[in-house]
Amino acid sequence: MNFALFLVVATAVCGVIWALDAWLWAPRRTGREPVLVEYARSLFPVFLIVLLLRSFLVEPFRIPSNSMMPTLLTGDFILVNKFAYGLRLPVLNNKFIDLGAPRRGDVVVFRYPKDPRIDYIKRVVGLPGDRIAYYHKTLTVNGKPMPQQPAGTYLGYGAGAGMTGAQIFNEDLDGTKHAILIRPGQLSGEGEFTVPEGRYFVMGDNRDNSNDSRYWGTVADENLVGKAVMIWMNWDWSADGVIAWRRIGTTIK
């Protein structure tokens, strides 16, 4: 279901019914207000506020996989800043106000290039014009290896229990420091890539378990949805206690 399209249609229908009643039907009405008009008048401001908030301010998303571990876990509910990279029209997704561009290290939500109906979340590692290389678990940007510092062994739980034993490294992407997971003996995508203009190279923090730009290419600017900023809820049915309270309110870096 295209929720953005539903909101636009619902807002428009309620608004038209309410307006027609105010201008045409109400002045000639002698009896009780029709139920349809009552519902339209009540729901129009609700639909309009949700539409504006979701389209131009923040939108909630749920993390469905382990590809961004350890930064994001399956079951995390996150808030995405919709105006970080410019304001776009709902449904059409055309940018009408440009407010900036992703920086290296940003965690972004975007429409999957192979199927725009699906939202993906990854970390931007390559900007337009960059030369990206990934060999032997090391990311290189424009000939410069991104520093990695060992930070111990990962102990997973819930839906992420299968990643127990992976090695944690703290990676520095030109000043953006974040944790990644690596399995030393596991094969993953390698190669060299040049990022075209207007596009971005993205990777998951769970480097050996991520379907990202190494496999299907770069993300176009028009596919960007927004910047992930905060975890507002975690709901993992595989974990004891279901809700990981300590993750609520965590800033995404």
Contacts of 40 (CB under 8 A, 6+ apart): 13, 14, 15, 17, 18, 21
Q: Are residues 108 and 66 in the same domain?
A: yes
Q: Are residues 21 and 100 in the same domain?
A: no
Catalytic residue among 65, 82, 122, 210: 122
Q: β-strands 199-203, 167-173: how paired?
A: unpaired
Backbone angles phi, psi at 52, to 5 degrees: -65, -45
Q: Are residues 127 and 147 in the same domain?
A: yes
Residue 252: inside a domain, yes or no?
no
Average pLDDT over the chain, rounded to an integer: 95
Q: Are residues 194 and 217 in the same domain?
A: yes
- Work out the average pLDDT over 47-61: 96
As for how many domains the chain has, the answer is 2
The last residue of a domain, from among 56, 73, 93: 56
Q: Are residues 173 and 233 in the same domain?
A: yes
The last residue of a domain, from among 56, 75, 98: 56
Q: Tell me the pLDDT band of 239, cut-offs 50, 70 and 90.
A: confident
Each residue's pLDDT tens digit, 8-43: 999 999 999 999 999 999 999 988 999 999 999 999
Catalytic residue among 65, 67, 210, 213: 67
Q: Is 114 a catalytic residue?
A: no
Q: Are residues 48 and 62 in the same domain?
A: no
Q: Is 122 a catalytic residue?
A: yes
Q: Which among 111, 36, 78 has a CA at the least distance from the CA of 252?
A: 78
DSSP string, 145-200: EPPEEEEEE----GGGGGGTTPEEEEEEETTEEEEEEE-TT-----EEEEPPTTEE
Each residue's pLDDT tens digit, 112-165: 999 999 999 999 999 999 999 999 999 999 999 999 999 999 999 889 999 999
Residue 77: inside a domain, yes or no?
yes
The more confident residue out of 237 and 77 is 77
Q: Is residue 73 scored above 90 in pLDDT?
A: yes
Q: Report cis status (omega within 30 of 0) of the bond before 70.
A: yes
Residue 253: inside a domain, yes or no?
no
Give residue 67's domain range. 58-247
